[in-house]
Chains A and B, each alone.
Chain A
Amino acid sequence: MILLKEVFFSHPGGPEVLRGLDLSVEKGERIGIVGDNGSGKTTLLHLVMGLLRPNLGKVVLFGKERRSEEEFREARRRIGFVFQDSDDQLFCPTVVEDVAFGPRNLGFNASESLAITRRVLDALGIAHLQKRVTYQLSTGEKRLVAIATALAMDPEILVLDEPTAGLNRKSAERVLESLTDHVPGFLMVSHDAEFLGRCVSRVLKLEEGRLTSL
């Protein structure tokens, strides 16, 4: 589903972060990526989503090479993305509005979007948060809502950047449950080795701009 081939990338004026990186994610796979701070993990995820474009190399999503914004936009509806900082994701006053935002963009009308939102919030066990103000949620609640906003778009795969960063064990446990129970496959960056060990099928290490199996 996701295929990166010989990808090179450097931020403008910065050193080369990715140097000939290859990555392939098949349907239903659960992949974890580890690596030191600044090794390019977030950059890698942003390349997958088309938020950044490689200097060299190919990004192939769902069997088609993606170059333009238009091509990525079509792929983005099938890949859910969860940011490291949930505040980047939540911008609507209330939880229910924020979760419904994605479905509305996909063309569902108001009542359909609301039904999808209810279903997702129920599934994640956070229906009681729906009228709450997103800005005032706890870090753990924000993370679950952020995951809900991605799931509401019914993605074929979820891409997550440090989903347990800043969470305590109990909240991390909730995140783990929601992922293993409700997501078909995912690509996840994490520092949390124990967490990764419990939910992924394959761990890759990002080092010196390339991925190696661990």
Chain B
Amino acid sequence: MHLEEFAFGQSLWHRMDPRVKIVGLVFFAFAAALSKDHGVLAVALCVSVLSLALARLDVRQVLARFGAVNAFVLFLWFFLPFTTPGDVIAHLGPFAVHRQGIALGLAITLKANTVAAATMVLLGTSGIFDLVHALDHLKVPRRLVWLFFFTYRYVTVIHQEYSRLRTGMAVRCFRLRPTRHGLRSLANLVGMLLVRSFDRSERIYQAMVLRGFSGTFWTLDHFHMHRSDWVAAAAMAALVLGMIGWQIPRGPS
């Protein structure tokens, strides 16, 4: 597990001030999630996919992430066309297909992929430390920032611990099968992970206290907005305002 796999690069997204990226993503994600117009959503998807291309990330990893998102979306397509009430446009066996259901499914598909692409572009291209510092500069409550940081930091550690235990089991010829022995061993593995994670968190806290920790994380880096950051911020603002403006009903109807 490696959450920073997109964080190292030289594209314009990698060089951008993370504060701009975080604020931009929040507004863009809300605008995309709340839009109803398919045209606007299609444009938003195009913009975020084009931005993704500019970030020059590893194509296989990008596709893997889209795959994960769309596996979930695909699941919705099994239900939405049949369960959303509205005009019947076709029949599939005993089930009626509704136009509104198709429209809803399409909107969700567009939104999910737009936000996924934007997240990869805007958050993926910053390292975790930059993001945490940016959140701190943006006056996000400290507790939330730390929670985010430690979750990131120790998910990786716990995953490594898990991998090592699985390797230890593999050299003793363990194969996960749905037998009593297999399930018991899996349960033991999970239990051991919990116990160790708990102990580790306590040791880390003690180590922090021993180095004088009393509740404050100091920020070392200070970000500077360059002209390119202002341009990017203006472009994102224009895009979001455009998406909203397009959907405001014009004149008395």
Interface residues of A in 72-99 (CB under 8 A from B): 73, 76-77, 81, 83, 85, 87-93, 97
Chain B binder among A56-64, A102-110, A171-179, A203-211: A102-110
Quick check: A135 and B192 within 8 Å, CB to CB? yes
CB of B172 within 8 A of CB of A102, answer: yes
From B165, B174, B188, A105 is in contact (CB under 8 Å) with B174
Q: Does B168 contact A (CB under 8 A)?
A: yes
Beta-carbon nearest neighbor of A77 in chain B:
B173
Nearest Cβ in chain A — how far from B31, in angstroms? 38
Chain B interface secondary structure, helix, strand, loop or mixed?
helix
Residues of A within 8 A of B168 (CB): 83, 88-91
B192 contacts A105, CB within 8 Å? no
Q: Does B175 contact A (CB under 8 A)?
A: yes
How far apart sit A149 and B167, CA to CA, in the bound complex (Å)?
Answer: 14
Inter-subunit contact B172/A73 (CB<8 Å): no
A101 to B184 Cα, complex, angstroms: 10
- Interface size, B (range): 10 to 19
Residues of B within 8 Å of A49, CB to CB, are 171
Chain B min CB distance to A85 (Å): 8
Among A49, A81, A91, A104, the most chain B Cβ lie within 10 Å of the Cβ of A91
Q: What are 30 sample pairs from A and B whose C-beta atoms fall under 8 A apart? A: A49-B171, A51-B170, A51-B171, A73-B173, A73-B175, A76-B170, A76-B171, A76-B172, A77-B173, A81-B171, A83-B168, A88-B168, A91-B165, A91-B169, A91-B188, A91-B192, A92-B185, A92-B192, A93-B188, A97-B188, A101-B172, A105-B173, A105-B181, A106-B173, A135-B192, A135-B195, A149-B172, A150-B172, A153-B172, A153-B173
- For the complex of A and B, 6 pairs with smallest distance between CB atoms: A105-B173, A102-B172, A81-B171, A88-B164, A91-B192, A89-B168
Residues of B within 8 A of A (CB): 164-165, 167-175, 181, 185, 188-189, 191-192, 195-196
Residues of A bordering B, CB below 8 Å:
49, 51, 73, 76-77, 81, 83, 85, 87-93, 97, 101-102, 104-106, 135, 149-150, 153
